[in-house]
């Protein structure tokens, strides 16, 4: 039973099934001692309180100036709370019970999707720097099932934010350089055509090998096959030429996978401009992906290139899936999506990098010994019968959550090492999809490719048409050298303006108000500054921005911000020299 009583200090406290959720003497003093024991004299920017009872902990944190996110474990504690923090979430009640008479059966399952969406709406990636996660033990014991579910979601969201920060810190500068270089090399871009076709997406997991015979039959029936870059060589070796290869990797060696076709390639490349330098010169056509970063937004806002918006994803297989869902209305079949090792084998064979290991092979260093050493080094855990890593498990959880919403559209083929929640498709069903593809409709129709040419002055809009051999289902934009130069110069100028606005920030509070515009008070806002300004700085020098957040001293903050801005200025000037 849930009851509200009056403490000796005059404050309310709750009792649930005989468990006191707060002190019966002084709940406020108890909360002060709890906060002091966990954060001491520090003042974190953000704190998440899981199971905070009636909100006394949140009240103490807010008194210290901490932005507080409360996660209640029962709608009844939420209703009776004396403090809800800056923002709060609680499971929905499905009972008509009153607060004064809630039975011990009143359990409220946490809607993980709703809680995850709530946390993502309130937390930016930079919040994970110095973030405090506090849990109130009495509530955790009173509502153990809800507590376990809520903590699991919090840990997942924080872990994803940390992973995003780590990735941006490691690759942000490289992505920017790749974007500038690839845009200079771009001559023509193909716009995606919406199709009713069914698509098979081949990832490069070990289980792809077992599915090759079925894919060969599907291919000969003119089925639509896409591949991620690492799966291209195994498919080509089996006589399968995918119509589209999706690649997002920014590293130089990502291009090695595309060398599987020695002759003139007849597949189209789908990639963001942040992918490896030189990607725009590969394949028979280029379909541009816009992953929504601030840098891409600045570029494409000044250029009428046809782009397909696909959210950034930690794995290229996720990007390929999202692309297929956007341009095809038919079913999407995933194959080779293992996200783990089969024994010591990480990828389907042949693999593009195997010959590098073969060159190092010797009597004392056999090839399989090197495979085993790499597997043990990179995959320390075994989960569900497959050797995996924390990073791969994070990707697997994303697929499981995403596919739970797409049961009717997405299926898997073959004996995958990973169960991602999608239904399996049989051999006969796969062949039926190939036959249905012959009747598929693609828009726009015809055997002509629309060529959109912009005049060098930027005012021309004339569209011309030319005949093309076979069926060209998408239209293509060709850019002149002058247009590319003007577009890139405009982007660099816009980025420089944003960076200089951030350089004028004088206090850490103003800096944080840019990172968290929803939380900022009017007294902390600086006229003319926008959240996108700090987003540019975070993208181009993530480590510097994180160091700025960590500086409590005003002098140290200003010095760190000056260093961060100067590093970005140097990067932008480098690209301007390249442009000149």
Q: What is the dihedral angle through the alpha carbons of 53, 54, 60, 65, rounded to the nearest 10 degrees?
A: 90
**Domain count of the chain?**
3
Does 78 share its domain with 227? no
In this structure, what token pair is assigned to residue 292?
Answer: 């929504």
Q: Is 173 domain-assigned?
A: no
Q: Is 80 domain-assigned?
A: yes
Q: Is 248 domain-assigned?
A: yes
φ and ψ at residue 186, rounded to 5 degrees: -75, 125
CB 73 within 8 A of CB 147: yes
Residues 6+ apart with CB under 8 A from 278: 182, 185, 255
Does 155 share its domain with 218? no
Q: 222-255 as b/e, with b when 16 or more CB fall inside 10 Å? A: ebbbbbbbbbbbbbbebebbbbbbbbbbbeeebb
Task: Please state, as a whole number, how many other Cβ atoms lie within 10 Å of the Cβ of residue 476.
Answer: 19
Q: How far apart are CA 456 and CA 576, in angstroms?
A: 20
Q: How far apart are CA 304 and CA 450, in angstroms?
A: 14
**Last residue within a domain, chosen from 162, 179, 195:** 162
pLDDT at 442: 58
pLDDT at 519: 62
Q: Which residues pair with 67 in a beta bridge?
A: 46
In this structure, what token pair is assigned to residue 377?
Answer: 């080094």
pLDDT at 101: 40
In this structure, what token pair is assigned to residue 137?
Answer: 């033990």
For residue 256, give its domain range: 187-443
Helices (H), 340-479: 354-360, 367-378, 390-403, 427-437
Does 426 share its domain with 313? yes
DSSP state at residue 146:
H
CB 136 within 8 A of CB 174: no
Does 158 share its domain with 194? no
Closest CA to 175 of 539, 578, 579: 539
Task: Please state, as a whole number, how many other Cβ atoms lie within 10 Å of the Cβ of residue 365.
Answer: 11
Does 407 share its domain with 335? yes
CB 286 within 8 A of CB 258: no
Q: How far apart are CA 166 and CA 542, in angstroms?
A: 9
Does 142 share its domain with 192? no
pLDDT at 107: 53
In this structure, what token pair is assigned to residue 290?
Answer: 């816009």
Apex 419 CA angle, 413 and 425, nearest 5: 25
pLDDT at 561: 94
Q: Is 136 domain-assigned?
A: yes
CB 257 within 8 A of CB 247: yes
pLDDT at 522: 41
Q: How far apart are CA 2 and CA 255, in angstroms?
A: 62
In the chain, which stretches have pLDDT less than 50? Answer: 94-105, 444-473, 521-525
Q: How far apart are CA 427 and CA 414, in angstroms?
A: 9
Q: How far apart are CA 186 and CA 280, in angstroms?
A: 6
In this structure, what token pair is assigned to residue 361?
Answer: 């092979």
How do beta strands 463-467 and 448-453 pair? antiparallel
**Last residue within a domain, chosen from 421, 443, 465:** 443
| Per-residue pLDDT tens digits for 210-219 | 999 999 999 9
**Last residue within a domain, chosen from 162, 197, 216:** 162
Helices (H), 243-384: 294-300, 316-327, 354-360, 367-378
Instruction: Give the DSSP H/E element, type plus range, for residue 48.
Output: strand 46-50
Go through the chain and tell me how many residues it has: 580
DSSP state at residue 191:
P
Apex 508 CA angle, 505 and 513, nearest 5: 80
Apex 218 CA angle, 475 and 323, nearest 5: 40
Does 154 share its domain with 248? no
Apex 188 CA angle, 187 and 190, nearest 5: 155
Q: How far apart are CA 404 and CA 330, in angstroms?
A: 17
Does 362 share its domain with 425? yes
Does 147 share its domain with 230? no
SS3 content of the chain, % helix, strand, coil (to 5): 45, 15, 40
pLDDT at 82: 84
Q: Is 177 domain-assigned?
A: no
- Distances in Å between the alpha carbon of 457 and those of 214, 470, 480, 484? 52, 33, 10, 12
Does 279 share its domain with 424? yes
Chain centroid offset of residue 430 CA:
30
Q: 522-555 as b/e, with b when 16 or more CB fall inside 10 Å? A: eeeebeebeeebbbbbbbbbbbbbbbbbebeeee
Burial of 328 from C-beta contacts in 10 A (0-12 / 13-18 / 19+)? buried
* 3-state SS, residue 412: strand
Q: Is 179 domain-assigned?
A: no
Q: What is the dihedral angle through the alpha carbons of 118, 120, 121, 122, rounded to the nearest 10 degrees?
A: 90
Helices (H), 123-143: 137-142
Q: Is 523 domain-assigned?
A: yes
Q: Is 452 domain-assigned?
A: no
Does 412 share its domain with 535? no
CB 386 within 8 A of CB 340: yes
CB 282 within 8 A of CB 265: yes
pLDDT at 332: 96
Does 213 share its domain with 338? yes
Please compute, for residue 468, the number of CA atoms within 13 A of its CA located in the half-sphere on the CB side: 16
Four-residue CA torsion sign, 262, 265, 271, 276: positive
């Amino acid at each position: 039973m849930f009851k509200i009583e009056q403490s000796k200090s005059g404050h309310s406290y709750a009792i649930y099934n005989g468990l006191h959720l707060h002190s019966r003497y002084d709940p406020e003093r108890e909360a002060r001692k709890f906060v002091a024991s966990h954060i001491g004299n520090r003042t974190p920017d953000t704190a998440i309180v899981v199971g905070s009872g009636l909100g006394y902990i949140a009240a103490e944190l807010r008194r210290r100036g901490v932005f507080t996110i409360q996660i209640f474990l029962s709608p009844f504690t939420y209703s009776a709370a004396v403090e809800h923090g800056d923002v709060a979430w609680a499971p929905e009640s499905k009972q008509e019970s009153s607060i004064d008479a809630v039975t011990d059966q009143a359990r409220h399952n946490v809607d993980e999707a709703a809680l995850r969406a709530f946390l993502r709406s309130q937390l930016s990636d930079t919040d994970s720097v110095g973030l405090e996660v506090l849990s109130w033990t009495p509530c955790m014991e009173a509502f153990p099932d809800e507590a376990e579910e809520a903590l699991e979601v919090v840990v997942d969201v924080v872990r994803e934010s940390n992973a995003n920060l780590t990735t941006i810190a490691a690759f942000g500068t490289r992505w920017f350089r790749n974007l500038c270089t690839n845009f200079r090399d771009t001559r023509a871009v193909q716009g995606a055509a919406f199709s009713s076709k069914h698509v098979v997406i081949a990832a490069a997991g070990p289980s792809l090998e077992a599915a090759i015979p079925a894919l060969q039959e599907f291919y000969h029936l003119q089925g639509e096959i896409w591949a991620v870059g690492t799966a291209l060589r195994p498919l080509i070796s089996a006589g399968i030429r995918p119509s589209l290869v999706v690649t997002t990797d920014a590293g130089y060696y990502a291009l090695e996978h595309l060398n599987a076709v020695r002759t003139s390639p007849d597949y189209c490349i789908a990639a963001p401009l942040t992918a490896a330098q030189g990607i725009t010169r590969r394949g028979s056509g280029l379909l541009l992906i816009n992953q929504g970063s601030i840098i891409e937004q600045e570029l494409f806002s000044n250029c009428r290139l046809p782009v397909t918006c696909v959210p950034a994803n930690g794995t290229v297989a996720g990007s390929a899936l999202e692309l297929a869902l956007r341009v095809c209305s038919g079913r999407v079949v995933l194959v080779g999506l293992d996200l783990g090792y089969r024994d010591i084998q990480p990828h389907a064979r042949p693999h593009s990098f195997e010959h590098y290991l073969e060159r190092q092979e010797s009597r004392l260093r056999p090839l399989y010994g090197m495979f085993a050493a790499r597997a043990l080094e990179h995959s320390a855990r075994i989960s569900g019968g497959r050797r995996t890593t924390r990073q791969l498990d994070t990707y697997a959880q994303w697929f499981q959550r995403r596919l739970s919403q797409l049961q009717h559209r997405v299926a898997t083929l073959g004996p995958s090492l990973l169960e991602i929640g999608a239904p399996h498709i049989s051999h006969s069903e796969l062949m039926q999809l190939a036959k249905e593809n012959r009747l598929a409709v693609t828009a726009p129709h015809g055997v002509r490719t629309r060529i959109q040419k912009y005049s060098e002055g930027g005012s021309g809009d004339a569209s011309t048409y030319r005949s093309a051999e076979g069926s060209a289902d998408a239209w293509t934009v060709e850019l002149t050298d002058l247009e590319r130069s003007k577009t890139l110069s405009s982007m660099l100028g816009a980025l420089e303006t944003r960076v200089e606005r951030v350089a004028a920030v004088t206090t850490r509070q103003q800096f944080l108000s840019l990172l968290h515009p929803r939380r900022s008070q009017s007294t902390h806002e600086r006229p003319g500054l926008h959240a996108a300004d700090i987003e540019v700085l975070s993208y181009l020098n993530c480590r510097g921005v994180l160091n700025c957040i960590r500086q409590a001293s005003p002098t140290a903050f200003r010095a760190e911000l000056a260093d961060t801005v100067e590093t970005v200025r140097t990067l932008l000037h480098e690209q301007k020299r390249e442009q000149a």
